[in-house]
Every structure is written in C-alpha cells, then in structure tokens.
Amino acid sequence: MSLRAADLKVGDVHEEVVVENLSRGLLVMYAGTSGDYNPLHTDEVYTTQSAGYPSVFAHGMLTMGLTGKMLTNFVGDGRLKKFGVRFTNQVWPGDTLTSKATVVAIGEGEIELELATTNQDGKTVVTGSATARVD
C-alpha cells in the first residue's frame, strides 16, 4: 500500500484521530518504552505538588509518535526520508488528538508534507513537515 505521485495533487489532505481521551496509562507505557521516566509525565503527586503544574502531561515525543502513526498510515511503511516537528502546546490526559498531513509539493519520486496535530479545542499541539518517497 504505497502512494503514487500520479494519484496526488498539492493540497491533498490525510487526517486521523490518533488518540481519544488520552489516558495516564498511555503516558506510563510511553515512559517505559522510551526510557524517559521524567515524573512530569507519570507522577501526578510530584507534578502537581512539587513542580507546580495542574497535572501530568504527555511527553512531546509521544505526541510526535502519535503524529507519526498518521504519517506512516498515509505514506506507507519505510517510505519516510525526513520527519520533523515543533511542540507548540502541552498535551494533557483526556485530550483527543487529530493529526493531519497536507501535500505541499510533489517532486521527482518524493512528496513534501506539512503536518499539524490539534486537540479537541482546535489548539495546535504539534506542527511539522515530512518528506516521503512515492512511486
């Protein structure tokens, strides 16, 4: 299942809900696999009482990972050449995130995409870009 340049045009959009009602459990799972055990992501007591945040919040890399799921679902596996993001807002337990890729350029055997992930309030949490190989 791979993309063909001939089937695409600039402005095409692929969009997916990548997580619904984000659980603290997923933050614990992500800490465990990534190795980033910063208590700001998993330890509600530390985060609220010692660090002064209203709640634990997601690792930026989890939000990028969720965005990456949308991206590989769109371009296919093993097709990415570049994938980069900026983290623009924090992601909290209970958030529902939607990730979107927009085709901004179609070149010789590759496409460029603009990326954005937004929460249930329409606030952008990640912006970015990607380059992928296409047939």
Partner 1 sequence: MADKVTMPIEATHIMMFARSVNDDNQIYYDANYAKNTEVGHVLPPPTFYRSVAQFDPDYFLRPKVGQKWFGSAKGPSGIEGKPASSGGLHAEQHFEYHLPVKPGDVLTVTTKPGKVWEKESQRAGKLVFTETILEYRNQDGELAVTSRGVGVKTERPVDQG
- Report in angstroms how near the CB of residue 46 gets to partner 1 at its nearest: 4
Q: Smallest distance from the beta carbon of 10 to partner 1, in angstroms?
A: 23
> What is the enclosing helix (H) or strand (E) of 63?
helix 60-75
What tokens appear for 62 in the block? 């989890």
Nearer to partner 1, 15 or 87 (CB): 87
Residue ranges in contact with partner 1 by CB under 8 A: 2, 18-19, 26, 29-30, 32-40, 42-43, 45-46, 49-54, 59-62, 64-66, 68-69, 71-73, 76-78, 80-87, 90
Alpha carbon distances (Å) from 47 to 40, 51, 52, 53, 54: 5, 5, 6, 6, 8
